[in-house]
Amino acid sequence: MHELLTPEEMGEADRLTIAAGLHDGYALMRNAGASIARAILERFPEAGRIAILCGPGNNGGDGYVVAKLLAEAGLTVTCFRGHAPREGSDAFRAAADYQGPVRLLEDFDIEDCDLVVDAFYGAGLARPIEGIERSIIEAVNAAGIGVVAVDLPSGVSGASGMVLGAAFEAALTVTFFRKKPGHLLLPGRDLCGETLVTDIGIREDVLDGIAPQCFENGPHLWRAAFPRLSDDTHKYRRGHTAVFSGGATATGAARLSARAAARIGTGAVTVLSPPDALIVHAAHLTSIMLRKTENVADAMEFIRDRKVFSAVLGPGFGNAVRIRELVPALLDERRTGEGFRGLVLDADGLTAFEGNPDDLFGASGKTSGALVLTPHEGEFHRLFGALGADRTLSKLEKAKAAAKRADAVLIYKGPNTVIAAPDGRAAINTNGTPLLATAGSGDVLAGMVGGLLAQGMPAFEAAAAAVWLHADAARRFGPGLIAEDLPEMLPEVLGGIEIA
């Protein structure tokens, strides 16, 4: 159940189900209400007085179904509404079937309930919540009363996770068939509390007609494409990654990337070093190879002749002029050779194109290999300008637009990292941890992506896998983590998900 549906796509899933004659709209509403009522009875056994806040649409209809079922279970239930459901609608039918007390929102009193069921609006909200509804949301949040949200906490956009006016802080959110992006994107993710996805009778095959392009990141998304060893494997069949190093005082980042590429399974890893940094690297490297490169021609000759399959450029590199020379060469198949599968551009590799991003985007469209960009928030703004500053767009929308503009796979890093491909696919990562807020962790991630590319993993899947594995390694290590620990955790991580 890793597909994510926009509110519009979820509406299409309902429509296709009804059109197929499997259920009518009211049956789906009753199934939804029953799943919510069961969750309340299981998780809140001490809540005897339930206030259900009903909107005028289908979300409110779900609330009336919940009210009827909880009342039948012996709980004291009161529904509160502003506008009544439209006559003839499924919500109108649900309200009529309820037959219990219904009061106006102005009569709602926090002191009269143990639990609030938020059935105001759900995922389809398109305008800010104001007036009496906003006042109630703010009062409930301030009082700390438990809230069960129907579909999504009212006030949270199902498409973006943004708060429109005000939003409930739910202890439990019960949604149906599939999550929406708003369940995973911040701040929506934090406002949902526990998110429970329930079956209301929509068949899996409706996804064939919808063809969703957004997913929750996890092994299910990329396990099938993950590199596996065969009996006749040798080191060069496992790929060769080159990592570009900065000067003598900035060598650590390249070694972190190189170590990560090796630990993720690349058969051979070489650090391409300027002359002044050779002795520093030589004192630290054992299984990872070292090569002196003084200019772009040296680097490209090595990459072509030694059958390098991927490169990592940027961590600790520092020389913006050289980066702008290297990137077009690394994206030119005539100079890399046919086996080259991709370039990971990170840190200084991104900053070098601040002010002239079209030089990068133009080069990316001329390669048969992949380009993977790994910006954090500041780098994204510097590279994509107005797109980064647009407050009307969600992080997901920005990532997808940026990937298309750059013709690159994008890892838009942060607490809710988004991975996006130029073809419109995207994944939202949810296993991130503040433990990764340590110097060098991004260098490790870049090396992991480069290592997976070298082994033949497609760029989108390689990026998604690296992001998830990177976070899992941090979680397994726990407090005290520094970047050097991350590559050493990868054997345990890989063994734990049975893909090594």
Which amino acid type is present at position 477? F
| Domain(s) of CATH 3.40.1190.20: residues in the chain | 219-496
DSSP structure string for 155-190:
TB-TTT--BSS-----SEEEEESS--HHHHSTTHHH
Q: What percent of the chain has pLDDT over 90?
A: 92
**DSSP 3-state assignment of 299?**
helix
**pLDDT, tens digit, 9 for 90 and up, residues 314-338:** 999 999 999 999 999 999 988 998 8
Q: Is the pLDDT of residue 113 over 50?
A: yes
CATH class of 3-212: alpha beta
**pLDDT, tens digit, 9 for 90 and up, residues 217-226:** 999 999 999 9
CA-based nearest residue to 247, from 298, 293, 300: 293
The CA distance from 44 to 290, in Å, is: 61
Which amino acid type is present at position 140? V
Q: How many CA atoms lie within 13 A of 155 on its CB side?
A: 25
Report whether 466 contacts 264 (CB < 8 A).
yes
**pLDDT, tens digit, 9 for 90 and up, residues 18-36:** 999 989 999 999 999 999 9
The CA distance from 410 to 432, in Å, is: 17
What's residue 237's pLDDT?
Answer: 76
What's residue 86's pLDDT?
Answer: 95
Residue with tokens 């079937």: 97
Average pLDDT over residues 172-187: 97
Average pLDDT over residues 58-68: 98
Average pLDDT over residues 235-241: 85
Question: What angle is formed at CA 463 by the lines to CA 460 and CA 467, rounded to 5 degrees?
Answer: 140
0.85 exceeded by pTM: yes
Q: Is the pLDDT of residue 160 over 50?
A: yes
Q: ω into residue 375 within 30 of 0, thus cis?
A: no
Name the token pair of 77. 């239930």
Q: Where are the beta strands (DSSP E) in 26-74?
A: 49-54
**pLDDT, tens digit, 9 for 90 and up, residues 334-352:** 899 889 999 999 999 999 9
Which amino acid type is present at position 15? R
Number of H helices, E strands in the chain: 22, 18
Torsion angle of C-alpha atoms 331, 335, 337, 340, degrees rounded to 10: -30
Measured in residues, the chain has a length of 500
Report whether 220 contacts 236 (CB < 8 A).
no
Average pLDDT over residues 252-276: 98
The CA distance from 69 to 67, in Å, is: 6
Report whether 427 contacts 216 (CB < 8 A).
yes
Averaged pLDDT of the chain: 95
What's residue 368's pLDDT?
Answer: 60
Q: Which residues contact 393 (CB under 8 A, 6 or more apart)?
A: 160, 387, 401
The CA distance from 393 to 369, in Å, is: 30
Report whether 153 contacts 183 (CB < 8 A).
no
Question: What angle is formed at CA 68 by the lines to CA 62 and CA 73, rounded to 5 degrees?
Answer: 125
What's residue 366's pLDDT?
Answer: 64
What's residue 126's pLDDT?
Answer: 83
**pLDDT, tens digit, 9 for 90 and up, residues 402-449:** 999 999 999 999 999 999 999 999 999 999 999 999 999 999 999 999
Q: Is the pLDDT of residue 83 over 50?
A: yes
Average pLDDT over residues 474-496: 97
Give residue 500's pLDDT band: very low, low, confident or very high (50, 70, 90).
very low
Q: Which residues contact 471 (CB under 8 A, 6 or more apart)?
A: 429, 431, 432, 433, 436
What's residue 122's pLDDT?
Answer: 86
Average pLDDT over residues 475-497: 96
Q: Is 111 exposed, middle or buried (0-12, 13-18, 19+ CB in 10 A)?
A: exposed
Question: What angle is formed at CA 189 by the lines to CA 380 and CA 6, rounded to 5 degrees?
Answer: 80
Q: Which residues contact 255 (CB under 8 A, 6 or more apart)?
A: 245, 271, 281, 284, 285, 288
**pLDDT, tens digit, 9 for 90 and up, residues 182-207:** 999 999 999 999 999 999 999 999 99
Give residue 231's pLDDT band: very low, low, confident or very high (50, 70, 90).
low
The CA distance from 409 to 355, in Å, is: 21
Q: How many CA atoms lie within 13 A of 121 on its CB side?
A: 25
Q: Is the pLDDT of residue 365 over 70?
A: no
Q: Is 433 exposed, middle or buried (0-12, 13-18, 19+ CB in 10 A)?
A: middle
Report whether 380 contacts 418 (CB < 8 A).
no
Note the helical H segments in 337-412.
Answer: 348-351, 357-364, 377-384, 386-389, 395-406
What's residue 285's pLDDT?
Answer: 96
For the domain 219-496, what is the CATH code? 3.40.1190.20
| Domain(s) of CATH 3.40.50.10260: residues in the chain | 3-212
